[in-house]
Amino acid sequence: MKTVLIVAAAAALAACRSTPPELPTPPAINVYECAAPAGMTAPERQPLRPIGDYTQDDVALYITDLHHWATRGWLKLARVREHADKCVAGTEEEDED
């Protein structure tokens, strides 16, 4: 019985001395920081809706203002997309070098 205990203890201590195999290095991760500047994404005030007793002229002016507001929003979105595309293209060129 003592022999079995001594052999088991020796095996346990021998296992502690061994080193684990080396792990393979992880693949490189490309991190892109292409956030648009705050000025490009700042919200704009929406046109004020006519309230109370309003005329058709008030409605026409509101719809015109709403159209201009939406057009500016779509243009801002297009500029943000251009900025992001340029940023990604620039980082891809750096990766190829």
Predicted pLDDT of residue 79: 93
Predicted pLDDT of residue 5: 75
Q: How far apart are CA 89 and CA 82, in angstroms?
A: 10
Q: How far apart are CA 69 and CA 57, in angstroms?
A: 18
Residue-by-residue pLDDT tens, the chain, 97 positions: 778 778 777 777 766 666 777 888 888 776 667 788 888 888 889 999 999 999 999 999 999 999 999 999 999 999 999 998 888 887 666 655 5
**Site of tokens 């203002």:** 65
Predicted pLDDT of residue 50: 93
